[in-house]
Structure 1
Amino acid sequence: MSVYDAVEIDRLQGGPADLSQYLGKAVLIVNVASKCGLTPQYEGLERLHETYAARGFTVLGVPCNQFMGQEPGTSEEIAEFCSATYGVTFPMTEKVDVNGESRHALYRNLVTAADAEGHTGDIRWNFEKFVISPDGTVAARFSPQTEPESPEVISAIEAALPA
């Protein structure tokens, strides 16, 4: 089953995002925030996006304001911040909840995957990362503190790239 099945989400700039467009690609889904100590990870996420885009890969940023209100802005403010401060070109979705009763359907699918330490369930903080295989299944999960360009994330991305 694909993590994208029956999931409706809007793009950051408005209008529906067709997640089925990612079937056949490797994707790194990351819940992001603009006012977090981990926010500089945007730089590494953008470099990954640029490095692997031609090989069927993208980063998908998912803004979330559930962790100490660290993503308080409007869609326009988030887009401007990411573009102007970090040169972000990868796609971003609308701001969603990743935990709790109002957890977005995309994250209901993602949180069942375990990371290398066996953690499943709730997202622990901003910048938790999920590598998605071309068939839409979770290939790997990484803690927020794991840098986007760490060897383990790069290895998981390279293993998930389409043939």
Structure 2
Amino acid sequence: MIDRRRILTLTLAAGLGRATFSPTSAETSSAPGISRITAYGFSFAALDGKDIRLSDFAGRPMLIVNTASLCGYTPQYAGLQQLWTEFQPQGLMMIAVPSNDFGGQEPGGASDIDQTAHAQYGVTFPITAKAVVRGPNAHPFYRWAAAERPKAVPAWNFHKYLLGRDGHITDAFASAVEPTDTRIKTAIGRALSAA
């Protein structure tokens, strides 16, 4: 017997490019016979060349932030590190996604990104390789996020998506919202306490 959900999932995976899908972690049933893709179906190339598979963090809230090294918001790396230090022991996962999409503010390569994030700001959370986060050539995660939250797509560097334990976007925060803002901390606390 043909498993229609598996065929649909594999078809979507082929259409979204590099993303990988697993019927057990990438889908949740919202109604009988209907499956929805979750963030757990995607992966990023890491800054160090390995892979960051979101499925490895299934069941954990995640904060995913598109970053840039030469932006006026770049000092937010410090606030992101504070969030990571505070909430990672409670289960939060955080991933920075460097992008050159806005103002050409991430023009360098991996060593430049590493210098800014690690050496200058002391970041210890995972960082992906540079990726496109908007438009038709966007990384599959960002195309999925745009479909999931069409009115909350990144308009600039340091846009923040908070994913709940179910792998869906629970909140989105514009670039100007500081990582340590009460709204973000409250949303993370809510996501961590959700069953």
SS in 2 for 1:30: strand
Q: Provide structure 1 residue ranges, at least 5 long, that are not aligned to the other structure.
A: none
Task: Determine if the alignment matches structure 1 residue 11 to structure 2 residue 60.
Answer: no
Q: Does 1:63 align with 2:98?
A: yes
Alignment equivalent of 1:148, drawn from 158, 163, 179: 179
Residue identity opposite 1:134 in structure 2: R
Q: CA deviation at 1:4?
A: 2.7
Match of 1:85 in 2: 120
- Inter-partner Cα distance in structure 1 for 2:139 and 2:79: 25
Higher relative CO (Cα under 8 Å, sequence separation at least 6) belongs to 1
Q: Aligned AA for 1:138?
A: I
Give the gaps of 5 or more residues in structure 2.
1-36
Q: Distance in 1 between matches of 2:71 and 2:148?
A: 24
**Superposed CA offset, 1:81-130 (max 9, x none):** 2111100000011111111121110101112344xxxx716420000001
Match 2:57 to one of 8, 22, 40 = 22
Question: Aligned partners of 2:43, 2:92: CA distance in 1, in Å?
Answer: 21
In the TM superposition, residue 21 of structure 1 has moved relative to its aligned partner by 1.2
Supply the distance in 2 between the matched residues of 1:153 and 1:122 (Cα, whole angstroms).
17
Q: CA deviation at 1:80?
A: 2.2
**Letter paired with 1:157:** I
Question: What secondary structure is seen at the aligned counterpart in 1 of 2:84?
Answer: helix
Instruction: State the partner residue of 2:166.
Output: 135
Aligned AA (1:71): E
User: What is the number of residues matched between the two proteins?
Assistant: 158
Q: 2:112 is aligned with what amino acid?
A: E
Please state which structure has a larger fraction of its residues in helix.
2
Q: Is the 8 A contact 1:4 1:106 kept in 2?
A: no
Structure-2 residue corresponding to 1:120: 151
Q: CA deviation at 1:26?
A: 1.1
